[in-house]
A and B are shown apart, each in its own frame.
Chain A
Amino acid sequence: MVTARTASSEAGRVHKIVSRTGMHLFLIVASLVAIAPVFIMVSGSLKPITELFVNSWGLPREFTLNNYERLLNYNSGMILHSFLNSVFISTVTTVLQLTVASMAGFAFSKYQFRGKNFLFMMFLLTMMVPGELLLTPQFIIFSNIGWLNSYEVQIIPAIANTFAMFMCRQFMDSIPNEMLEAARVDGAGHWRIYTQMILPTSVPTLGALGILQFLSKWNDYLYPRIMITKVNYKPIMVILPTLTEGGDTSGTPYDLILAGCTLVVIPMMFVFFCLQNKFLDSVTLGSVKG
C-alpha cells in the first residue's frame, strides 16, 4: 500500500514536471517567434546592404551605423521632420479626443437630461460604421474647403471618438454620486466637479485609453495616404514605404527601410516596457467588461 502510494505520487510529480516543461517549451517557442521579426529588423538595420543578402537573420558580422546616417540625411532631413509630424499629430489628437470624450462621458454618466438616451444610442450605433466609409465623402469635403495637405485634416476630424466617450462613461458610472453630491453641497460648480473630482479619479482609465488612441493614430496609414500628398505634412508611416535611393525606383533599399522601421518601433517598444500594465489594460478596456 505505502509503496504504491509513493510510486503514484512519484509518477504524479514526474508527470507534473514533464507537463510544466512542455508548457514552458511551448511558451518559449511562441515568444521567440514573437521576437524574431523585431530582432531581424534591429540587427538588419545595423548591417550593410551587402550583408543582408547573405546573412539576413543573424547578428551583424559587420556592424555599421551608416544606414541611420543615410536615413537622417535622406531628402534633406525629411525623415526627422515626418517623425516629428507623427509625434505632433498623435499627441494633439489624443489630448483633444480624451478631453472631449471625458466631458461628454461625464454628462452622460452624472446628469439626467432631455434627449440623453437618444443621443447615447445614436453614438453607440455609429461605432459599427467603419472609418473607410468616410474616406470618400471626407476627401471631397476637405478638398472643397482646402483642408487636404494640412495638419488640421489629420487632427480635427478624429476628435469625436465614440469608443473613448463610451469607455469614459462606463468608468465614471463607478464613481459614487454621493461624493459629487457632497462637493455640490459645498458649493462646487459643474466645471469644478469635472476638473477637480472626475478627472483626477479617471486618470487610470484615461491613461489606458490615451495609449490606445495614441497608438492607433501613430500607426495610421490609410487616412493620411489619401488626404496628404505634400511631403511637409506627411506622417512618417506614409514616408517609410516610399523610401528609394539614387533615383532608382526598382531596387528597394532594404537596409534603409529596416533602419526607418527601427526608428518608429523602438520608441513605442520603450514606452511599452515602461508602462506594460497600462498597455495590457488598454486591450481589455472594451472587450471583457462590455
Chain B
Amino acid sequence: MAKPKAARGAARYPKRQIAPYLFIFPFLLSFLAFFLVPVVYSVVISLMKYKGYGTMKYVGFDNYRRLFTYNAMWTSLLNTLEYFILAMIPVMILAFLLAVVVRSHALTRWQKVYKPLLFMPQVCAVVASSLVFKVIFGTNVGAINQILGTSFNFLGDTKLMKLPVICMLIWRNTGWYFIIFLSGLTTISDDLLDAAKIDGATSVQTMFHVTIPVMKPIFKLTFITYAIGAFKLYTEPNLILSKEEAPLSVAPFVNMITTNINGGSLGMASAAGWILVLFILALTVMQMRMFKEGE
C-alpha cells in the first residue's frame, strides 16, 4: 500500500479527508475577508467616483487618467525614486563593506560585539527615529547645526529637505542589509577563500571573482525587496518634515493614497493604490531583467 515515492514530502494520509481543510480554514477565511475581498473591491472603486457616502458613480478609467495628468503624482513619484536611489546606493555599499570586514578572519571574535550594535537602529521604531532625526536636523535644537556652528534650515529649505530623510533611511536600513549580507557571506566556505589565497589571489581579486559572484542571488533578492519597500515609503518623510503630511515637493508616492482618502476622493485613492502596484511590478521585472543580462 505505502508507496514512499508518491508520498515524498508529505505524510501518508489518505487523499480524501477533512483535516487539512480544517487546519487551513481560519487562515483562508481571514485571507478571503480581509485581503481578497478588499483587493477586488478596490478595482471596482478605482473605476468609480465615490466620496465615502452617497452613491457611487461609474467613471471608467477617469481616475487613472486624471492621476496620470496630475502634476502631484509625478512629483511624488520622482520624490520616491530620489529617496529610493539616493539611500539605496550608500546602504548597499556600506552594508556589504561592513559585512565583508566583520566576516574577515581577523575579526571573527568581535562579531558578537559589532553585529548587535550595527543592527540596533532597526530596532528603533520608525516613528520615534523620524522624530529624533527631526530634532537632530533642527535649525536651533539640531545637533548637526550645533556641531557645525551653522544654522541650515534642513527641515524647511526645499533644497535641503530631502537630506534628513535620506540620512535616516541610510542610518536605519544599513544594519538590516548588513545582517543579510553577513549571513550570505558565511555560506561561502573558508575552503573556497583559502583556495583562492593559495592560488595567489589578492583580497580584491577574491572579492570580485569569488565573493561577489557567490553573493549574486542574494544581491538580486535584496535589490527587489529594497525597491518594494522604498515605494511604500511613508512615515519617514512625513514625520521628519511635517507633523502629518509633508508638502508636495518632498512627499512620497503613498501620500497620493492618503491625501485622497482624507480628502474624500476614494476612487482616486484606489486608483493611486493600483498605480503603486503597477510601479512595483515594473520595477521588479526591470531588476530581474538587469540581473539576467549581467549573467
Contacts and interface: CB of A to CB of B under 8 A. Distances in A.
Nearest to B101: A23
A84 interface: no
Interface stretch (A4-12, A72-80, A199-207, A236-244): A236-244
Size category of the binding interface on chain B: 35 or more
A35 B171 CA distance: 10
B210 interface: no
The CB with the most chain A CB atoms within 10 A, among B11, B42, B98, is that of B11
B225 A30 contact: no
Interface string B198-239: 000000000000000000001001100100100110110001
Interface in B81-120: 94, 97-98, 101-102, 104, 106-107, 110, 114-120
A130 B27 contact: no
B117 A35 contact: yes
B251 interface: no
B128 A287 contact: no
Nearest to A37: B132
Interface stretch (B68-76, B189-197, B272-280): B272-280
Nearest to B234: A222
B289 interface: no
The prevalent SS among residues of A at the interface is helix
B1 interface: no
Interface string B108-146: 001000111111110111111111111110101111001
A95 interface: no
Interface on chain B toward A: helix, strand, loop, or mixed SS? helix
A261 to B, nearest CB: 4
Given A34-B118, A34-B171, A134 B258 contact: no
Interface of A: 16, 19-20, 23-24, 26-27, 30-31, 33-35, 37-38, 40-41, 44, 52-57, 99-101, 103-104, 106-114, 116, 119, 123, 126, 128-141, 143, 156-160, 162, 165, 173, 177, 180-181, 184, 190, 194, 215, 218-219, 221-222, 225-226, 237, 240-242, 252, 254, 257-258, 260-261, 264-265, 268-269, 272-273, 276, 279-280, 283-284, 287-288, 290
